[in-house]
Amino acid sequence: MAATTTTTDTSSWERFRTATQADVLTDVPQHVQRLGWSAGRIEAAQRDGLRRLLAHAAEHSPFHRRRLGGVDIDRVDPADLSSLPVMTKPEMMAELDDVFTDRRLDRGVIDETLAATGAEPVPIHGDYIAMASGGSSGERGVFVFDRPAVAGFFSALSRSLMARLQALGGPPPGGLPIVLVAAASAVHATGVAPALTAGTGMPFRFTPVPATLPLAEIVARLNALQPPALFGYPSVLAQLAAEQQAGRLHVTPLVISSTSETLLAEARAAISDAFSVPVVDTFGSTEGLVGSSAPGDSVLVFNTDMCIVELVDDDCHPVSPGVPSTRVLVTNLYNMIQPLIRYELTDSFVREPDAAEHGHLRARVRGRTEEVLHYDEIDIHPLAVRSVMVKAREIVDYQVRQTPRGVEVDAVAAGAADVDRLSGLLAHALADAGLAEPDVTVRIVDSLRRHHETGKVRRFVPADALSQGIGRT
């Protein structure tokens, strides 16, 4: 590999950031406007975007050229993508070099770049940045963006916040300060946000506080910063809520937003009660699909003007509104460098009724279907455990690891917790779900085990993930 494939030259990132910020600021008005697009306007955008994407992928990506052979791409309609093959993460990673539409890109270059990434992204050839996801749940996926795709991704993530700021008269001078308790490294999307918003020209700026820091240090930093807006992983926000209730944390944010992990109902309630602010929930996948809720709402609105979304079952057949999907297929219409066409996310969504004021997909996110615990004679859905934990008011967060005959639960508690009672309730729930004589262990801990790179918590860790070392310290 040539030594010149990547660079850690600060000026390279500064040039990329400056140009991307200009793109984002130019696009703010139209992205806010897109929030109110009708279903017909969204469908037209999908049709145009799909035509461009398929033509570009077939011409420039050997991977997609092979897969699209024999498909009349001009006749593919966004309402029915069944003539196109499903794309999985293992398939993408196995043939990553051929997925890219710029032949200068290959996995060696990307891995070298990610290894060199710290608090700021490392531009590749001055034109691209790379991010990774999925390290806490299995095989890592890597994703490359050019500047327009970065601007589009960031705009999709931030446009709901921009709309709320505009409704309040606009952002304050110098931008709204937001503390982001999430990834420390720009390898992860939440680590890119602080680097991308540096300076004074953006409508908001993120100050990073790594989720992997000791809780006491996170509390000390927040007390010093006194952020008017607080964003972070819900597992961390729930801990901070307990610290606020205990009197060790003293902050009064006007905006609180959770991201990157499933926001459980019990965590939402604890966070809202502690800070007296309704929580905004967000779904931001590095694959390009983005969703955001209204404050205090559990229904997310997704950027279907930029992505085609299919909610499907295990056989990739569409599920009806109100029926939980077992997969979500995403076709990203704005990343032309690494085309994702019917890309499989192992998330479970439940479609909600359409809104009168816009045509975007509205759905509840139930978490990842790969969290199902598989035993010899029975499969147990995480809801069997959640139905118990949601009623344990003293528990603010938890992590469940599968054992041969049951589960081990690490729980963070606000105040005293009756471990024996909780263990008994969980054993009863597992037995009702079909697991004979379940073995349950509950431990009260100060903090949960986090992925070393992203700082995220995997809520349910099945046995196959444990065998790979996932969910262990």
Name every residue whose Cβ is closer than 8 Å to that of residue 91 and which is 6 or more positions away in sequence. Answer: none
Task: Give the DSSP H/E element, type plus range, for residue 223.
Answer: helix 215-225
Q: The domain 372-466 belongs to what CATH superfamily?
A: ANL, C-terminal domain (3.30.300.30)
The whole-angstrom separation of Cα 150 and Cα 128 is 9
The CA distances from residue 208 to 31, 35, 272, 317, 462, in Å, are 25, 28, 22, 41, 31
Domain layout of the chain by residue ranges: 147-304+361-368, 372-466
H-state helical runs in 249-314 = 265-275
Name every residue whose Cβ is closer than 8 Å to that of residue 30 and which is 6 or more positions away in sequence. Answer: none
The whole-angstrom separation of Cα 75 and Cα 68 is 12
CATH number of the domain located at residue range(s) 147-304+361-368 in this protein: 3.40.50.980
User: And the tokens for 266?
Assistant: 């019990």
**How many other C-beta atoms are found inside a 10 Å radius of the C-beta of residue 401?**
21
Instruction: For the chain, 473 residues long, give each residue's pLDDT as a single digit of tens.
Output: 333 344 445 589 999 999 999 999 999 999 999 999 999 999 999 999 999 999 999 999 999 999 999 899 999 999 999 999 999 998 999 999 999 999 999 999 998 998 888 889 999 999 999 998 754 444 578 899 999 999 999 999 999 999 999 998 888 888 899 999 988 788 888 889 999 999 878 999 999 998 878 888 999 999 999 999 999 988 889 889 999 999 999 999 999 999 888 888 888 999 999 999 999 999 999 999 999 999 999 999 999 999 999 999 989 999 999 999 999 999 999 999 999 999 999 888 999 999 999 999 999 998 765 566 889 877 776 667 876 875 676 787 788 999 999 999 998 887 788 999 999 999 998 988 888 899 999 999 988 877 665 566 777 888 865 444 444 43
Beta-sheet strand order (sheet of 406-413):
439-444, 406-413, 395-403, 460-461
Could you give the angle at which helices 215-225 and 234-246 cross, rounded to 10 degrees? Answer: 70
Task: Give the DSSP H/E element, type plus range, for residue 348.
Answer: strand 347-351
CB 388 within 8 A of CB 433: no
The whole-angstrom separation of Cα 428 and Cα 292 is 36
pTM of structure: 0.81
